[in-house]
Amino acid sequence: MNFIDVTANDREIPPGKVLLAQSMPDGDSFVAEYVMDSKIGWKDSDLGKPTEVRLIARIGGWNLAGSLLRWDNGAYGVIWTSNGSRHGRWYKSFEEAEAHFNRIP
């Protein structure tokens, strides 16, 4: 598995604060996500379909937040979709995300 440095575009954001913009500043980009691994975790309780769980690397960038843009720093995540909604958890370290991913049967 190739290691992805998710901190490449990180910005200093004070604790408890959020960086918002009405339009994307020149030279900036949206968040980039890369699937590092995936597996079938369990069946979706409502639809009875298998649920794909993904180990994701997210490189910092802008994300849609209603009518604004919100800056998200890089992180590793364990993410799945259920009933059309995205669920999961983001981690600062790859080791934490990998441990969570490996706990899923």
- For the stretch 2-51, pLDDT in tens is 678 899 899 999 999 999 999 999 999 999 999 999 998 776 666 667 88
Q: Is the residue at 89 inside a domain?
A: yes
Q: Is the residue at 48 inside a domain?
A: yes
Q: Is the residue at 3 inside a domain?
A: no
Q: Is the residue at 7 inside a domain?
A: no
**pLDDT for res 1:** 58
Buried/exposed 65-95: b ≥16 CB within 10 Å, e otherwise: eeeebebbbbbbbbbbeeeeeeebebbeebe
Domain extent, residue 98, equals 20-103
Q: Total structural domains in the chain?
A: 1
Q: Is the residue at 2 inside a domain?
A: no
pTM metric for this prediction:
0.82
